[in-house]
Amino acid sequence: MLKTLFTGLSLLLVTLPVSAALNVFACEPEWASLMQELGSDKVKVFSATTAQQDPHRIQARPSLIAKMRRADLIVCTGAELETGWLPVLLRRAANPKIQPGQPGYFEAAQYVTLLDKPERIDRAEGDIHAAGDPHIHLNPHNISRITSALTNILALLDPENTIYYTHQRDDFLNRWQRAITGWEKQAAPLRGLRIVSQHKSWIYLIDWLGMKEVTRLEPKPGIPPSTTYLTQVLTTLQQQPARAVLITPYQNPQASEWLHSRIAIPVVELPYTVGGDTDATTLFGLFDSTITKLLAVTEQ
Amino acid sequence: MKTFVITCMLYAATSITALQPVQAAEQSDIDLLRQEVDALKTQVNASQATTSTQSAFNPAISLILMGRYANFDNDPENYALPGVTLAEETDPGKEGLSLAETELIISGNIDDKFFGRFTTALTPENEIEIEEALVQTLALPAGLGLQFGRFYSEIGYLNKIHAHYWDFVDQPLVYRAYLANQYNDDGLQLRWLAPTDLFLELGGEAFSGESFPASRPANESVGSYSLFAKLGGDVGVSHSWQAGISYLATQAENRETEEGNVVFGGDDNMIIADLVWKWAPGGNDAQTSLVFQTEYISSNEQGDYTITGNGTNPVDRTNDGWYAQLIYKFQPRWRGGLRYDRLSIEDPGSAFSGTSLDTQGHTPERVSVMFDYSHSEYSRLRLQYNRDESYAVADNQWYLQYIMSLGAHGAHRF
């Protein structure tokens, strides 16, 4: 143990002045936050999006191309979440290190079980993802799986700091596992909680906490609801009541507010990702805040 | 399949173990087995995901269906921009119902070093045109990128934007008059992206010079070339911008246009400046956005025009013009837009009076207003009105247009 620590320390001392930090381009804030946990000062993390932006629809901005040009590693969700912008950035940045197939190209969705894989791939079904739903980070067990895979990549790209990354991983997973146990205990009253989603953003959270999605406001994924459709939702909810409508910080609250004005169903804006509210400054804060806000619904 | 069998066996193993009287030590074995089963399930799913996440189709194929209904006060046959000769297919088009070009786009990574894209346009006259057949490098060092084949030149902002992604039915007058809507040609492009946080891209292109405004002289191997520089960045989280300056040098020998009796020989060189500014609250343009875009083109013609019945006369003149437009997305699916166009064409002199190069003292101008509705990212319906003063008799033009895309999700440039 002491020897490992010593080797680790000496490696640190040797490598610190010479090796520059690894440049990481994270497509979404949750991966930026995870990278920060794992890499700390060994990485320089940039998040391409914020919690206030719809990750399906991001402009392939010049600033993102410039950032990607210098990236050593890109960490994205995959499962077609970023198909509308990532391919353009990859091509225009023409950075050989982060092209698909290279170690510097990391898709988190490849390491977890994707839910809701569509049986019928047809655009008439809306904006569907052939591989399955991409909002994977909302089940903390998925974060654990991705953490291990990501640490392996970090060790591959920056072998000198392998011991450091392994240590960071163990430390993070340790804290994370304890946090999960706490959340699961705390969230016990949420089992069976009946909710309405605006978009199909919550299926991993629903699956993890055992909640029940009564209906969704979008008639098809990515298609905003019309008034006619909302009236149907209203009828459904009158027959099968739900406790809250869940929305993300980047979604338009109009439809949910309309519903709220009719049947006084509370509209709950969950942080969705890191930076989604004032408490969600880290991945830990994200789940703390999410569960607190959901528990508040059950207490009403 | 093999993994599935193993999973089943492991499940069986766990259930058999569960039947026996359980000691505390055995309980941990069960947990271990459960973990293994979970790990195997994850592996199976991960391997399935790997095959499908990259791209649902390889290569990606998309088909764009476009068509419209048009109504004009003036006969489109009489359309002209006095002082310049128009290239083919640059007029306002047919009245009534008509099909626009149908685009078929096939693209994908060729391997880990190259990307390829093929764009073909099937015209309403049942002709096939290859608009793009290009190869791009993905893995050159130091921010370098090479592109070759047939492609839209990187000059200006709108030049390489495909018709299905235009904000209006038609191109601005500067593009119509000086670049035959869009300049594409067979050639080679080299780009360099600076390793800075501020986006800076420099590049140059060499073309065979076969398409308008070029018309390659027989003894030249490179008919035209271009240089371009682009700069861009963000201002806060809500604003982003890109500005560019480009130069295009073309040579012409017997450059014919729509009017076969007017032939140009000489050099036609252009300078283009462009600026795009996008705003979206919090950078979330899925809800609301405002886009301002403007370009200026100056075209210098040096050479001579031969006009049937009028002989050959020298010209040395600079024509220019600009447009500015504002597109406002006021609802996730609704956008409104306003555009103003203006050209200044230098009169080539008395030797050309009475010909189509005579400007008749007119300054072409146009104001356009449009509204469009996109039910999803794949369908768009648009209504556009132009008050067109391209020539002396002002025209009121109405368009109702549809743009539908099938197949792969097209990622778009800034």
| Percentage of chain A exceeding pLDDT 70 | 93
Question: With contacts defined as CB-CB under 8 Å, which chain A residues touch B112?
Answer: 99, 101-102
Say yes or no: A9 and A115 in one domain: yes
- The pLDDT score that the predictor gives to residue A96 is 92
Kindly list the distances between the CA atom of residue B34 and the CA atoms of A114, B12, B47, in Å, as whole numbers in the listed order.
19, 11, 20
- The pLDDT score that the predictor gives to residue B295 is 97
Say yes or no: A169 and A233 in one domain: no
Interface of B with A in 96-135 (CB under 8 A): 109, 112, 115
Residue B379, classified by CB atoms within 10 Å of its CB into exposed (0-12), middle (13-18) or buried (19+), is: middle
Question: With contacts defined as CB-CB under 8 Å, which chain B residues touch A85?
Answer: 411
Residue A257 tokens read as 């507010």
DSSP string across B212-259: TT-B--TT-S--EEEEEEEEEEEETTTEEEEEEEEEEEEEEEEEE-SS
- Smallest CA-to-CA distance from B182 within B196, B199, B170 is with B170
**DSSP single-letter state for residue A100:** T
Give the pLDDT band (50/70/90) at residue A125. Answer: confident
* More confident: B17 or A62: A62
Domain residue extents for chain B = 2-46, 64-407
Evaluate whether A85 touches A60 at the Cβ level (below 8 Å): yes
B140 to chain A, any CB pair closer than 8 A? The answer is: yes
pLDDT over threshold 90, residue A283: yes
Closest partner residue to B285 among A59, A69, A100, by Cβ?
A59
Q: On the CB side of B50, how many CA atoms lie within 13 Å of its CA?
A: 10
Q: Which helix (H) or strand (E) holds B323?
A: strand B311-331
Q: What CA–CA distance (Å, rounded) separates B301 from B212? A: 13
Assign domain B64-407 to its CATH superfamily: Porin (2.40.160.10)
Say yes or no: A238 and A216 in one domain: yes
pLDDT over threshold 60, residue A15: no
Amino acid at B167: D
Q: What CA–CA distance (Å, rounded) separates A295 from B374? A: 38
Given an 8 Å threshold on Cβ–Cβ distance, is B115 in contact with A91?
Answer: yes
Q: Which residue bears the tokens 């008395």?
A: B350
Say yes or no: A169 and A283 in one domain: no
Ordered alpha helix ranges (H), chain A: 2-18, 29-39, 62-69, 86-93, 140-157, 162-186, 203-209, 227-239, 254-263, 283-299
| A&B contacts, CB < 8 Å | 159
Q: What CA–CA distance (Å, rounded) separates A196 from A116? A: 17
Average pLDDT, whole number, for chain A? 89
Say yes or no: A238 and A153 in one domain: no
Please tell me the least confidently modeled range out of A17-21, A171-175, B112-116.
A17-21
Residues 6+ apart with CB under 8 A from B412: A60, A84, A88, B165
Closest partner residue to A59 among B112, B278, B333, by Cβ?
B278
3-state secondary structure A224-265: CCCHHHHHHHHHHHHHCCCCEEEECCCCCCHHHHHHHHHHCC
Q: What CA–CA distance (Å, rounded) separates B144 from B135? A: 14
Q: What CA–CA distance (Å, rounded) separates B310 from B352? A: 8
Please identify, among A164, A182, A200, the residue that sits at the C-terminal boundary of a domain: A182
Angle, CA of A217, A222 and A226, to the nearest 5°: 45
**DSSP single-letter state for residue A191:** T
Question: With contacts defined as CB-CB under 8 Å, which chain B residues touch A123?
Answer: 376, 378, 406
CA of residue A134 relative to chain centroid, distance: 8
Helix (H, G, I), strand (E, B) or coil at A169: helix
Q: What CA–CA distance (Å, rounded) separates B243 from B115? A: 26
Say yes or no: A175 and A295 in one domain: no
Given an 8 Å threshold on Cβ–Cβ distance, is A52 in contact with B195?
Answer: no
Q: Note every long-range contact of B44-52, with CB atoms under 8 Å and residues 24 or more positions apart, other chains counting.
A: B44/B3, B44/B4, B44/B7, B45/A112, B45/A113, B45/A114, B46/A110, B46/A111, B46/A112, B46/A113, B49/A78, B49/A79, B49/A109, B49/A110, B49/A114, B49/A131, B49/A132, B50/A110, B52/A130, B52/A131
**DSSP single-letter state for residue B388:** E
- The pLDDT score that the predictor gives to residue B2 is 46
Q: What CA–CA distance (Å, rounded) separates A112 from B306? A: 70
CA of residue B291 relative to chain centroid, distance: 16
Please identify, among A182, A217, A240, the residue that sits at the C-terminal boundary of a domain: A182
Say yes or no: A114 and A14 in one domain: yes
Residue B216 tokens read as 């390659």
Closest partner residue to A69 among B109, B195, B232, by Cβ?
B195
B414 to chain A, any CB pair closer than 8 A? The answer is: yes
Q: Which residue bears the tokens 């940039």?
A: A46
CATH number of the domain where residue A264 is located? 3.40.50.1980
Residues 6+ apart with CB under 8 A from A20: none
- Smallest CA-to-CA distance from B218 within B252, B260, B181, B176 is with B252
- The pLDDT score that the predictor gives to residue A213 is 93
Say yes or no: A6 and A25 in one domain: yes
- Smallest CA-to-CA distance from A200 within A86, A54, A47 is with A54
Give the pLDDT band (50/70/90) at residue A4. Answer: low
Evaluate whether B30 touches B17 at the Cβ level (below 8 Å): yes
The mean pLDDT of A283-294, rounded to a whole number, is 95
Residues 6+ apart with CB under 8 A from B299: B178, B213, B268, B269, B270, B318, B319, B320
For B57, nearest residue in chain A (alpha carbons): A130
Say yes or no: A195 and A243 in one domain: yes
Q: What CA–CA distance (Å, rounded) separates A254 from A241? A: 20
Q: What CA–CA distance (Å, rounded) separates B343 from B341? A: 7
Give the pLDDT band (50/70/90) at residue A189. Answer: very high
Q: Which helix (H) or strand (E) holds B201?
A: strand B199-207
| CA dihedral sign, ordered A277, A283, A284, A288 | positive
- The pLDDT score that the predictor gives to residue B14 is 44
Say yes or no: A219 and A271 in one domain: yes
Helix (H, G, I), strand (E, B) or coil at B341: strand
Please identify, among A182, A217, A242, the residue that sits at the C-terminal boundary of a domain: A182
Q: On the CB side of B89, how many CA atoms lie within 13 Å of its CA?
A: 12
Say yes or no: A112 and A235 in one domain: no
Question: With contacts defined as CB-CB under 8 Å, which chain B residues touch A80?
Answer: 53, 56, 409
Ranges assigned E (strand) in B2-141? 60-72, 96-99, 102-109, 114-122, 128-137
B3 to chain A, any CB pair closer than 8 A? The answer is: no
Given an 8 Å threshold on Cβ–Cβ distance, is B283 in contact with A50?
Answer: yes
Residue A286, classified by CB atoms within 10 Å of its CB into exposed (0-12), middle (13-18) or buried (19+), is: buried
B240 to chain A, any CB pair closer than 8 A? The answer is: yes
Count Cβ atoms below 10 Å from residue A79 Cβ, excluding itself. Answer: 25
Total length of chain A = 300
Closest partner residue to A63 among B41, B137, B233, by Cβ?
B233
Residue B262, classified by CB atoms within 10 Å of its CB into exposed (0-12), middle (13-18) or buried (19+), is: buried
CA of residue B108 relative to chain centroid, distance: 17
Q: What CA–CA distance (Å, rounded) separates B75 from A215? A: 54
Please tell me the least confidently modeled range out of A170-184, A223-237, B6-20, B365-379.
B6-20
Say yes or no: A75 and A212 in one domain: no
Amino acid at B215: S
Structural domain of residue A200, as residue ranges? 188-299
Q: What CA–CA distance (Å, rounded) separates A33 from A44? A: 11
Shortest Cα distance, chain A CAs vs residue B199, angstroms: 5
Ranges assigned E (strand) in B257-288? 262-279
Per-residue pLDDT of chain B (414 residues; tens, 9 = 90+): 444 444 444 444 444 444 444 455 566 666 666 666 666 655 555 444 444 444 455 788 899 999 999 999 999 988 989 989 888 888 888 899 999 899 999 998 888 889 999 999 998 889 999 999 999 999 899 999 999 999 999 999 999 999 999 999 999 999 999 999 999 999 999 999 999 999 999 999 999 988 888 888 777 788 899 999 999 999 999 999 999 999 999 998 888 776 668 888 889 999 999 999 999 999 998 889 999 999 999 999 999 988 887 888 899 999 999 999 999 999 889 999 999 999 999 988 888 888 888 898 899 999 999 999 998 888 999 999 999 999 999 999 999 999 999 887 667 888
For B378, nearest residue in chain A (alpha carbons): A123
Q: What CA–CA distance (Å, rounded) separates A280 from A278? A: 6
Closest partner residue to A85 among B140, B143, B411, by Cβ?
B411
Q: What CA–CA distance (Å, rounded) separates B205 from B227? A: 6
Structural domains of chain A, count: 2
